[in-house]
Amino acid sequence: MYKIILVGGQETIRPTQFEIHNHFIVTVFPPLPAGLTLDSTMGVIEGTPATVNSRTEFTITARNARGQQSATIEFAVAEDWQSSRFYIRPELWKFDMCLMWLMADDGIQLSQDDLVPFMTVGVEIDGKKLISLDTVEKVTKQYPTLTKPVKTLIARTVKDLNQNAETENIAGRDYDTIFDAFKEALSAAPRESGKMGGKLNDLQSGEFEDSALGLRPFLKVRDDWDETNACSVNGMMEEVHRLTDCPECAQLHAQILKDLKRKNEAEITVRLAASLAKLLQARQNPNVTVGHLSFCADDVQKIRDEIDVIDGWFYGRNNAKPVAWPSDSVKHPWGVYGQPLCDDCKTNFLDHTTIYEDLCYILFEASSEKKCFNGVRDKDRNKLGADGGGMRLDDFMKLKEAIETNLSPAHLVALRFYTSHSFRAINQPLRDRKRTRQHPLAAITMNVQGGIKKLRGLDAKGESAVSEITLWRGFTDTQISLDFKNKGGSEFAPMSTTQDPHVAVGYAVRGGKTDGSLLMKLKTFNNLQRGAELTWLSVFPGEAETLYPPLTFMQPTKKEQTIEHGGVTLTIVEVTTTVP
């Protein structure tokens, strides 16, 4: 007896002959698939299969005091081809799923007897064979013993199956590119055997309300925050300088300076930390007076002037002599910080030294090539400036993209800044759900959003503005939650995407430690549904990306697809986007 049963379907298999008064103890080998159990006294197999199980022969043995007797049953547990949780291309169907389709499809419904030729060793049906049976001649060549009506029926229905597969395959024409990139990424960085059992992380996203209310309240700025001045170029510079006003960092610096036998600096820095704590408290007080705030700021400056007089070091003093910080206090996975940081600043990548360096490069220097871990900085721009050298801020402002969209210098600076290595200082605080303070780079973040919105007007009168474009984004060791499937979710930080699925698959697969990765397909129909293409201004133009603003809302279309290779599953999820 051979039987196919469905994952998630209630199943009962009873013995054909069984006499309960014989007091049998019934066992089965090998163990039944998860979700099915054997009644050890009645010999009934029942339950709801939870996982796919290939065609297996099970031996049922009944024992009592007089001896034992055995019988076999052969069955498989398969995903229903129609109600599978994920769409699987027919050519990837395994033996059992093919049989399920041949039995269950409304146009075929073959009997167990009709299925015998498809189960014959050597010509067993699989997905590749199935999709090739689209003519009577091909069916006859593979399975000559079938009756003519059955051959005709199979050919016609397989032809329909192939046509429908083109619409159900959400990867579309990119399927082969995605599959090849998937194999390539796994080959370059294979999963370690036995170490793929880690739990997949749920995709982190916010609620619809987060997107609907807008960015300003999400940044937790005060009601009296002067957005116009704060979001100017000078305002962004002041914002970055305020990163040095961290009292916890000052306390840490004081302790390490003391350990380094720099007694005078250490003692003054202890007082600086206390003064900075008062300044921070004043800034967070909604009822603070301008006079008290100025008093606190002046007190901080006086203490820094004391350190300046002795030619000492304090956080943010540009001309200070370098300090030989202990390596373990400044080291991080991508290099070294300019100075030790407190735990909160480390978590949020708030290193003033490197952030200020990136901002000054964008504002005041000509572009220059530099090899970095993620590519070459400002590649091929060394001679594109007005003076024949590298491009400066004014040169970028004269480009067609900036002029056509009326992009301001502050917008362009913020967008260039986001494409530098300092982008984490924007993203990490946005993704911190426990954050109670104002975002440390609120003005730069507002300008990133404003710049992206303006760039959506590029070529507004052309066909490209209202054309359908597919974008991709990859996530390592990630799955979407049931809540996200049903409700959608907002991306807290700016969201990088690409038109090249090969690039997105690389991000999804490389460095993974589990047996799953996520590839998001963003289906857009006009510029108002997508972010801005930043290659023309990016510090790293080799990373051709389309950047969405913070709090973009993603709505799943309920279409999913999986691709499997080497024991790893890449799940493709289609979403639409709404830009706030």
Element (H, E) at 283: helix 263-284
* 499 exposure class (CB count in 10 Å sphere: 0-12, 13-18, 19+): middle
Residue the block writes with tokens 């090969």:
502
Q: Give the contacts of 108 (CB within 8 A, at least 6 positions apart).
A: 101, 102, 153, 154, 157
pLDDT at 197: 40
Rg (the chain; Cα; Å): 32
Strands 201-202 and 478-479: parallel
From start to end of 153-304, where are the E strands?
201-202
d(CA 445, CA 535): 19
Query: Under a CB-based contact definition with an 8 Å cutoff, are residues 537 and 418 in contact?
Result: no
pLDDT at 247: 97
3-state SS track over 450-506: HHHHHHCCCCCCCHHHHCCEEEEEEEECEECCHHHHHHCEEECCCEEEECCHHHHHH
pLDDT at 191: 55
Element (H, E) at 192: none
pLDDT at 194: 37
Residue 39 has a CB neighbour count (10 Å cut-off) of 12
Q: Which residues of the chain have pLDDT under 70?
A: 1-2, 17-22, 79-88, 104-107, 165-168, 190-200, 202
Nearest to 433 by CA among 205, 197, 259, 159: 205
Query: Under a CB-based contact definition with an 8 Å cutoff, are residues 276 and 247 in contact?
Result: yes
pLDDT at 406: 95
Query: Mapping DSSP to helix (H, G, I), strand (E, B) and coil, where does residue 532 land?
Result: strand
Token representation of residue 411: 């917008």
Query: Under a CB-based contact definition with an 8 Å cutoff, are residues 461 and 424 in contact?
Result: no
pLDDT at 81: 54
Residue 15 vs residues 27, 57, 147, 290, 359: alpha-carbon distances, Å = 13, 15, 33, 87, 77
Q: Give the contacts of 501 (CB within 8 A, at least 6 positions apart).
A: 171, 174, 177, 178, 181, 472, 519
pLDDT at 86: 44
Residue 159 vs residues 135, 145, 154, 491: alpha-carbon distances, Å = 8, 21, 8, 41
d(CA 130, CA 105): 14
d(CA 509, CA 180): 12
Query: Under a CB-based contact definition with an 8 Å cutoff, are residues 215 and 551 in contact?
Result: yes
pLDDT at 465: 86
d(CA 273, CA 251): 6
Nearest to 30 by CA among 2, 60, 71, 3: 60
d(CA 1, CA 73): 6
Token representation of residue 523: 């289906």
Residue 575 has a CB neighbour count (10 Å cut-off) of 20
d(CA 188, CA 186): 5
- Dihedral sign for Cα 540, 541, 543, 544, please: positive
Spell out the alpha helix ranges (H) of 310-351.
327-330, 343-347
* DSSP-assigned letter for residue 525: S
Element (H, E) at 449: helix 442-455
Query: Under a CB-based contact definition with an 8 Å cutoff, are residues 497 and 523 in contact?
Result: no
Query: Mapping DSSP to helix (H, G, I), strand (E, B) and coil, where does residue 145 land?
Result: coil
Sequence letter at residue 490: S
578: left (phi over 0), alpha (psi -120 to 50) or beta: beta
Token representation of residue 50: 């939870």
* DSSP-assigned letter for residue 203: P
Residue the block writes with tokens 């093919």:
98
pLDDT at 84: 43
d(CA 413, CA 546): 17
